[in-house]
Amino acid sequence: MANYDVVIVGAGTAGSMAAAGLANKGLKVALLDRQPKEKIGVKICGDATSGEHFRRIQPITKVDPPKNDEVIQKVKGAWLYSPDREVKLELIEEGGTGIIIDRFKLGMRILNDAIDLGAELFDESFVKEPILTNDYVTGVKYRGKDKNIHEISGKVIIDASGIIGTLRTRLDPEKTFMDLELAAKDVCNCYREIRDVETEIESPEFIRLIFDQDLFL
């Protein structure tokens, strides 16, 4: 069985950022993801964030905030509309760092930064279940590129698999302090549509928020 200081399941933004920060500290890090490397980061996302989040943790992760073609649009503020569209409220954050990002390009760069810092990527690796020792998670079993089942252990195991909760949902609720299932109040179902338009968009530096529950019903 391969042994690491830290095993991270999921190479998305959280997993890759964690891998970068830990590898930067000199730890031996294994990063597993079910997707082939070239497709990691291809996922539905709102694409809006703040560069300030990245800058705050940059001293730890050594990962730069979104830059160059990773930034599609800088955001100055938001226009909030009432359900009948009769009321419009403009919110502006002076010196704000809101941005619309290219999720794939940013994700690939963060992943490559983690690898460059020393994290070892196991792509196309489908994690099957946690390995337990005296009720503690000490590793994972996964199906690798060769289609065989492998085991990998670590002093610390991080489940960064997102809402799926690959490891979290396979734990015994009576033997852990964690919430194994997401509460309904913490889940939001969303619909996303991307359109190409021929007309120029008015003030693209403002995002629009329409508070109308019947808009898409």
- 215 in a structural domain: no
pLDDT at 217: 47
Residues in the chain with pLDDT < 70?
215-217
CA 1 to chain centre: 28
Give the list of residues 6+ apart from residue 53 with CB closer than 8 angstroms, or none: none
Kindly state whether residue 135 falls inside one of the protein's structural domains.
yes
CA–CA–CA angle 32, 103, 23 (5° rounding): 40
| Secondary structure (DSSP) of 27-80 | --EEEE-SS-GGGTT-S----EEEHHHHHHHHHHH-PPPS-GGGEEEEE-EEEE
Instruction: Establish if 214 belongs to a structural domain.
Output: no
Residue 28 maps to a domain: yes
Q: What's the domain range around 126?
A: 2-72+99-162
pLDDT of residue 95: 78
Chain centre to alpha carbon of residue 31: 14
Q: What is the 3-state secondary structure (H, E, C) of 137-148?
A: EEEEEEECCCCC
Number of structural domains, the chain?
Answer: 1
Is 20 within a domain?
A: yes
Spatial neighbors of 107 by CB under 8 A, at least 6 apart, are 12, 13, 16, 40, 41
pLDDT of amino acid 89: 95
Paired with 196 in beta bridges are: none
CATH of the domain at 14: 3.50.50.60
The pLDDT, as a whole number, for residue 215 is 62
Is 77 inside a domain boundary? no
Instruction: Please answer whether residues 5 and 154 qualify as being in contact, where contact means their C-beta atoms are separated by less than 8 angstroms.
Output: yes
| Domain annotation covers residue 52 | yes
- 8 A C-beta contact, residue 24 and residue 57: no
Tell me how far apart the alpha carbons of residues 70 and 102 are, in angstroms, rounded to a whole number. 5
In a domain, 110, yes or no: yes
Q: Can you give the pLDDT at residue 216?
A: 56
Question: Residue 127 has what pLDDT?
Answer: 96
